[in-house]
């Protein structure tokens, strides 16, 4: 164990983002950053701090009529030649600047600066969002300490170009497996070619007409795509197995069960196995807490196409939106970066919303 | 270096096959077996023996009007729990029994027993047939000592169910590569899916009507098949590249150039790269030396669908057939075996052909 890195929450939001980036925190290696966040928040007398694994929850207890949850994950994907953070004019570059230490920095600034917000606030900084769902810190808190997440409205600070993106689409991955019979490719008629049998499935994908689904004035956009294909034994063998992996992104008006039923219908007659699935989240913009937030930040609202942890709040019955600095297209890329303007804008708007 | 294993060529053909099987000789590890074969042949006064690497060539010099070449490879694929050799009733089991130490044993028996055959004979025992073409011992001799292979007719003792299989089909492998543009699968419309683009190529394969080609009274049977497919970046990325590997088995009336032109026509518009190619061999049954052999062994003649080293003799202008013990379907399999009846039949017929 090294020393706990110091985090000075009094620096500006850009410097704080850089400081967070410079505490490496690849998934499953969040010890240092969680220690630093816990120590910094514990020094603030207006917050009550809890810890679960490498996730930190800090809450005000002012008896306000409304409680909001502001959440962000502490982990990043693996380094990709993009550390340490580097400020170049109006852009901060580096691993996690966009996904999502910029959002974490904003939340930490709010936690430090707002001793008496007009709404009670629960800040959640959690581990292991970038890897398999079983490790997800927010999921673990929802299972083991759901009372820590109670609230009327939640903001997940995933990058959303500093605009509000509501709800999220669900995602389901499935393997479509064909089988045949091996033979030497010189005597191919003795066998049955599993790869050839995927041809019709690929054609189905090509012909697929995805829905565009209006909900609460937003238009979600479904998609059904191949994300993997594999097959083959060796260069002179008719292959007896081939697998096409598809990813179905579905609008939040479908449940996971509905989504699976749809996939089974589209690929009728194929052996289909779901390998991964996560529900969508309805935007819930009609709920009062959400409406007040959107009015306060004055932003246009768009639909969230990607899947995010807002779905976890939806499952807890809490309306939630994505609202954070950074363009999500640059997440997980070597040239990951966040515009300084996004950091300042999100920080200022949330401050205004929570300040009398 | 261990001691050179002794090979006693006076034992029966079944025992000799077993003795050869029990000298492990995976490709690139033919030292022991080549040493043993060289020593055994060098003890025979009627033969002149050459060595190149781990390939041995032994020839009679009787001044006959005709010279025949009898060839077999000494290497095997890797062991697969099928050593040592095991005789069970009328079947000899073990690695290489079929491909092709049974054939090698017959050739060694002929070399030892026929001091004055009616045709001059050149026996060729070569290394590294089972791996990449660059290592092939027969190919190396053809390049570096082509005079050792001079002859009017060649018999390659590849397993052919103890019947004559004439010529061989050519083989060509090609990669058909599609490209697209990556994007997150939640925003799939920002990208272009390379896997989807393979759909039409698979359909082409499904619709392909292969030729059946009569040559010298034999019917060759072409085939165009997928032997591999791959694509995919990760479960949430629209893939920007996909590769379909096809194997074209073509009748010996096409050259490799013709075969490639045909593939380019079939997959017009696709990026196509040949990764591997070998020419077919015309059966050449009309040539006098071939006709005499076929009459002598009294066998039905069939076409060889698979590719074999007979093509190397064809390139040298020597008509060649496949004729050896063993069912080629069991080559490279854990349950590789050879019927004792095949060993005896091939041994007896070749003896009869070469004896006054």
Question: Which chain B residues have a beta carbon less than 8 Å from that of A329?
Answer: 184, 187, 190
Pairing of strands B164-166, B86-88: unpaired
User: Could you tell me the end-to-end alpha-carbon distance of chain B, in angstroms, rounded to an integer?
Assistant: 43
**For A154, phi and psi rounded to 5 degrees?**
-130, 145
In chain B, which among 21-40 make CB contacts under 8 A with chain A?
A: none
Q: Is the pLDDT of residue B190 over 50?
A: yes
C-beta atoms of A225 and B171 within 8 A: no
pTM (whole model) above 0.90? no
| Alpha carbons A25 and A32: distance in angstroms, whole number | 7
Virtual torsion, Cα B99, B103, B104, B108, nearest 10 deg: 170
| Alpha carbons B230 and B295: distance in angstroms, whole number | 49
Question: Is A213 within 8 Å of chain B by CB?
Answer: no
C-beta atoms of B232 and A237 within 8 A: no
| Alpha carbons A335 and A80: distance in angstroms, whole number | 9
In the set B38, B75, B99, B222, the catalytic residue is: B75
Q: Is the pLDDT of residue B175 over 70?
A: yes
- Is B75 assigned a catalytic role? yes
Q: Write down the pLDDT at residue A235.
A: 87
ipTM of the complex: 0.81
Question: Which chain A residues have a beta carbon less than 8 Å from that of B184?
Answer: 306, 328-329
Nearest residue of chain A to residue B230 (CA atoms): A230
Chain B interface mutation, best of A158, A172, A199, highest count of B Cβ atoms under 10 Å? A199
Q: What percent of chain B has pLDDT over 90?
A: 81
**For A116, phi and psi rounded to 5 degrees?**
-140, 65
Give Cα A341 to chain centroid, integer Å. Answer: 22
- What average pLDDT does chain A have? 94
- Give the model's confidence band at A121: pLDDT under 50 very low, under 70 low, under 90 confident, else very high: very high
| Alpha carbons A181 and A192: distance in angstroms, whole number | 5
Q: Is B135 helix (H, G, I), strand (E, B) or coil?
A: helix
Nearest residue of chain B to residue A306 (CA atoms): B186
- Is A258 assigned a catalytic role? no
With a CB cutoff of 8 Å and minimum separation 6, the contacts of B15 are none
C-beta atoms of B229 and A195 within 8 A: yes
What distance in Å separates residue B335's CA from the closest CA in chain A?
15
Cβ pair A58, A52 in contact under 8 A: no
Q: Which of B230, B237, B307 sits opposite A227 (nearest CB)?
A: B237
* Between residues B87 and A319, the one the model is more confident about: B87
Q: Write down the pLDDT at residue A2.
A: 53
**For A346, phi and psi rounded to 5 degrees?**
-65, -40
Q: What percent of chain A has pLDDT over 70?
A: 99
- Give the model's confidence band at B288: pLDDT under 50 very low, under 70 low, under 90 confident, else very high: confident
Question: Is B232 within 8 Å of chain A by CB?
Answer: yes
Q: Write down the pLDDT at residue B299.
A: 66
Burial of B288-314, coded b for 16+ CB within 10 Å and e otherwise, reads: ebbebbbeebebebbbbbbbbbbbbbb
Q: Write down the pLDDT at residue A1.
A: 43
Chain B interface mutation, best of A80, A175, A185, highest count of B Cβ atoms under 10 Å? A185
Question: Which chain A residues have a beta carbon less than 8 Å from that of B132?
Answer: none
Q: Is B183 helix (H, G, I), strand (E, B) or coil?
A: strand
C-beta atoms of A226 and B195 within 8 A: yes
Question: Which chain B residues have a beta carbon less than 8 Å from that of A203?
Answer: 199, 203
Mean local confidence (pLDDT), A39-45: 98
In the set A38, A129, A130, A152, the catalytic residue is: A129
Locate A297 and state its tokens. Answer: 């930040």
C-beta atoms of A247 and B232 within 8 A: no
Q: Is the pLDDT of residue B25 over 50?
A: yes
Chain B interface mutation, best of A227, A311, A326, A334, highest count of B Cβ atoms under 10 Å? A227
Question: Which chain A residues have a beta carbon less than 8 Å from that of B245?
Answer: 232, 235
Question: Which chain B residues have a beta carbon less than 8 Å from that of A244?
Answer: 195
C-beta atoms of B205 and A196 within 8 A: yes
pLDDT in tens, A205-232: 999 999 999 998 899 999 999 999 999 9
Pairing of strands B67-73, B153-156: parallel
Mean local confidence (pLDDT), B241-247: 97
Q: Is the pLDDT of residue B1 over 60?
A: no
| Alpha carbons B349 and B103: distance in angstroms, whole number | 13
* Between residues B16 and B183, the one the model is more confident about: B16
Q: Is the pLDDT of residue B144 over 80?
A: yes
Q: Is the pLDDT of residue A338 over 50?
A: yes
- Give the model's confidence band at B303: pLDDT under 50 very low, under 70 low, under 90 confident, else very high: very high
What distance in Å separates residue A342's CA from the closest CA in chain B?
22
Burial of A338-347, coded b for 16+ CB within 10 Å and e otherwise, reads: bbbebbbbbb
What distance in Å separates residue A174's CA from the closest CA in chain B?
10
Q: Is the pLDDT of residue A261 over 80?
A: yes
Virtual torsion, Cα B260, B265, B268, B271, nearest 10 deg: 0
Q: Is the pLDDT of residue A289 over 90?
A: no
Question: Which chain B residues have a beta carbon less than 8 Å from that of A226?
Answer: 193, 195-196, 231-232, 239
Query: How many CB pairs below 8 A link A and B?
Result: 151
Q: Write down the pLDDT at residue A4.
A: 77
Mean local confidence (pLDDT), B264-281: 95
Question: Is B198 within 8 Å of chain A by CB?
Answer: yes
Q: Is the pLDDT of residue B2 over 60?
A: no
Question: Is A322 within 8 Å of chain B by CB?
Answer: no
Question: Is B334 within 8 Å of chain A by CB?
Answer: no
Mean local confidence (pLDDT), B116-128: 97
Question: Which chain A residues have a beta carbon less than 8 Å from that of B131?
Answer: none
| Alpha carbons A243 and B108: distance in angstroms, whole number | 48
Question: Is A132 within 8 Å of chain B by CB?
Answer: no
C-beta atoms of A228 and B231 within 8 A: yes
As a 3-state breakdown, chain B gives helix, strand, coil percent values, each rounded to 5, of 35, 30, 40
Q: What percent of chain B has pLDDT over 70?
A: 99
Sorted by where each starts, the structural domains of chain B and their CATH numbers stand as 13-168+281-354 (3.40.630.10), 170-278 (3.30.70.360)
* Between residues A233 and B174, the one the model is more confident about: B174
Q: Is B181 helix (H, G, I), strand (E, B) or coil?
A: strand
Determine whether A182 is exposed, middle or buried from the number of CB atoms within 10 Å of its CB (0-12, 13-18, 19+): middle
With a CB cutoff of 8 Å and minimum separation 6, the contacts of A223 are A210, A247, A248, A249, B185, B186, B188, B189
- What average pLDDT does chain B have? 94
C-beta atoms of A329 and B195 within 8 A: no
With a CB cutoff of 8 Å and minimum separation 6, the contacts of B241 are B177, B178, B179, B180, B194, B231
With a CB cutoff of 8 Å and minimum separation 6, the contacts of A216 are A166, A167, A282, A283, A284, A285, A286
Q: Is the pLDDT of residue B58 over 90?
A: yes
With a CB cutoff of 8 Å and minimum separation 6, the contacts of A3 are none
| Alpha carbons A329 and A161: distance in angstroms, whole number | 10
Q: How far, CA to CA in Å, does B157 sit from each of A249, B95, B106, B111, B352?
A: 58, 16, 9, 14, 17
Name the residue among A232, A41, A208, A43 with its Cα closest to residue B247.
A232
C-beta atoms of A239 and B227 within 8 A: yes
C-beta atoms of A202 and B195 within 8 A: yes
Mean local confidence (pLDDT), B209-237: 94
Q: Is the pLDDT of residue A246 over 60?
A: yes
Q: Is the pLDDT of residue A318 over 80?
A: yes
Chain A interface mutation, best of B168, B227, B277, highest count of A Cβ atoms under 10 Å? B227
- Give the model's confidence band at A195: pLDDT under 50 very low, under 70 low, under 90 confident, else very high: very high
Cβ pair B171, B278 in contact under 8 A: yes
- Give the model's confidence band at A299: pLDDT under 50 very low, under 70 low, under 90 confident, else very high: low
């Amino acid at each position: 164990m090294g020393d706990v890195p110091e985090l000075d929450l009094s620096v500006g939001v850009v410097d704080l983002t850089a400081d967070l980036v410079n505490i490496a925190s690849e998934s499953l290696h969040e010890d240092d950053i969680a220690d630093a966040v816990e120590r910094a928040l514990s020094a603030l007398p207006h917050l009550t701090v809890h810890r679960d694994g490498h996730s930190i929850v800090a809450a005000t207890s002012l008896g306000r009529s409304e409680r909001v949850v502001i959440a962000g994950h502490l982990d990043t994907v693996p380094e990709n030649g993009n550390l340490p953070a580097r400020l170049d004019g109006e852009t901060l570059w580096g691993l996690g600047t966009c996904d999502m230490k910029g959002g974490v920095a904003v939340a930490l600034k709010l936690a430090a600066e707002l001793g008496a917000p007009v709404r009670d606030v629960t800040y959640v900084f959690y581990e292991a969002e970038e890897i398999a769902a079983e490790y997800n810190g927010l999921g673990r808190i929802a299972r083991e300490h759901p009372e820590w997440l109670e609230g009327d409205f939640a903001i997940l600070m995933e990058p959303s170009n500093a605009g509000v993106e509501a709800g999220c689409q669900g995602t389901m991955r499935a393997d479509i497996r064909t089988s045949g019979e091996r033979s030497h490719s010189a005597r191919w008629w003795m066998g049955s070619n599993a790869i050839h049998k995927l041809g019709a499935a690929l054609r189905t994908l090509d012909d697929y007409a995805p829905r565009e689904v209006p909900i609460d004035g937003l238009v979600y956009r479904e998609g059904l795509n191949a994300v993997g294909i594999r097959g083959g034994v060796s260069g002179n063998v008719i292959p007896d197995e081939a697998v096409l992996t598809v990813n179905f992104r579905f609008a939040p008006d479908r449940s996971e069960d509905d989504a699976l039923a749809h996939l089974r219908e589209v690929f009728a007659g194929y052996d289909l196995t779901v390998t991964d699935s996560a529900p969508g989240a309805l935007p819930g913009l009609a709920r009062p807490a959400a409406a007040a937030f959107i009015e306060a930040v004055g932003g246009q609202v768009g639909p969230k196409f990607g899947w995010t942890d807002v779905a976890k709040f939806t499952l807890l019955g809490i309306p939630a939106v994505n609202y954070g600095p950074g363009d999500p297209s640059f997440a997980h890329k070597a040239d990951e970066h966040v515009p300084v303007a996004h950091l300042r804008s999100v920080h200022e708007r949330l401050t205004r919303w929570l300040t009398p």
